[in-house]
Amino acid sequence: MAATLPNIWLPALVERFASFLHPNEVICTLRYVNKATAAQFRGRPEFASVRLSQPVPPHAFAARWAAPGAMRDLTLEQRKKLLCLTATSGVMSNLEVALEAVGVAVDTELQSDLSRSACKAGHSSMACHLLIPVLIAEPNQSCIPSLEEAATAGHWAVWEALQRDSPIYGAHLWSPDYVVAALSGGHLEAAEYLLERTLAIWPMSDRIWGRFLEAAAGGCGLPTLESLHQRCGSVPLTMVVENERTIGSDLLSSAAGSRTADWQAKVEWAESQLPPGFTRDSEACAAAAARPDAELRLAWLLARGYPADGKAADAAIHAHNVAALELLLARGLRPTYFAIAAAACYGRLGMLKEVRRHGGRLNADVVAWGAVDGGQVPVLEWAVEELGAQLQDVSKLLFSDVSRCSLGTLKRLHQQGWPCEARKAALGAAKLGDMATLRWAVEELGASPQDASLMDAAAREGRVEVMVWLRERGCPWGKDMFDCALHSGCGAALEWLVEQGCPMPVS
């Protein structure tokens, strides 16, 4: 009788194996070795779901997405998102499978989205595959957004791969814009690589060198800024470049808003390069107000004579810097309507109250509509109760797009007497495929389930479940059902319409 082989697949060894694997590999491959291994990784958050933006084992990707009908429940936008996520993962074979399966024509916009995704993630092989056809078709412009993404992330290997695989288009791969992007991102090696090659083919004006200095002041440390300044020679920092601003003023504001720890040293260095009595403008404080340590930066800049205006208050609101906003409000500065609307949209009620406490005038409609746009019910209630926003006007907008609020919120507002339009609420729910809200709009608000426009709205977004529910309640076919379903790109919606006998379009 043969001896039983020893069990060397021990849990501790399996854990060791898993520590060297990407979570997607564990989920899609290791867990399938046997039942014990599957149980070992079950219920662990890090192995709960496959992340499509990360490399997925090709066998698992093909099994999920290459099967007939795998894409039928996805809308056109969802299919495009799947393609972009796959491009971000960098697995070429998976992108080929996805492109074959989605049934979507790759137009210029989608091609750009895919190449930008690959470049931002630094996948040079994928980037080459996507960019070379674009270089052939339109070498001067189409690659710019993608290569700027690569430069901002510091992925200079993308250029090396493009030079290797498409050398005849090498002259179109270099631009000062890419150097600016790399410097802004703080990627010195990439910036040096790009600058060296750009200098060989581009005539460098003082304006371009000024852009380099501004980018370095924002993304790099002082030694890099000083070194770059020495290389650019006698670039006049007093040169006017745009909107009556000089290279020096742009340099100062970029340094003041820099993400590096030596921002103060960079401001002081920039000041030392300017003539005595140079004009300090408000852009430096506006840039500083957007940083996490804005209160410290603003106090330091204000003490050095830099003025601040409403742009700094706006920046503090957008960055949710409460302390910085309080400092600016105490100096009599007030944010613009646009910033107030943004604060309401993001639910920053405390900031709005702070503005009001300091005597700032808040337009009730601006606050209310901003709150509606962000689905911020507490801010909305405050705008009505404290600022006098008109309930009827706000409710029309709120219930016309139920994606702004949860069903629980809509119910609460309705119970409190907020007026609403049942048909608009139902249309919004049908568009979203939100069955719970659609039922509520019909059963509680009195929306008619026989409204053909609901069918069109559902078809336009590929919401088969909604269309089934409406037909069961006697809803007639919409006049543009097939066109709407075609627009959604959802094969399941088209198949269902055919199966149910929906009239075909005449033409």
Select the highest-mean-pLDDT range: 11-25, 82-96, 267-281, 381-395.
82-96
Joined tokens for residue 341: 């609307």
DSSP state of 122: T
Mean pLDDT along residues 300-306: 97
Long-range own/partner contacts, residues 467-471 (CB < 8 A, 24 or more apart):
467/493, 467/496, 467/497, 468/496, 469/435, 469/438, 470/430, 471/500
290, 319 Cβ separation under 8 angstroms: yes
Give the tens place of pLDDT for each residue, 121-153: 999 999 999 998 888 777 666 788 999 999 999
What percent of the chain stands above pLDDT 70?
94
Taking only the tens place, the pLDDT of each residue in 22-69 is: 888 888 888 888 888 888 788 888 888 889 999 999 999 999 999 888
Q: pLDDT at position 114, please?
A: 96
Please determine, for residue 190, whether its predicted confidence score (pLDDT) is greater than 80. yes
pLDDT tens column, 169-186: 777 789 999 999 999 999
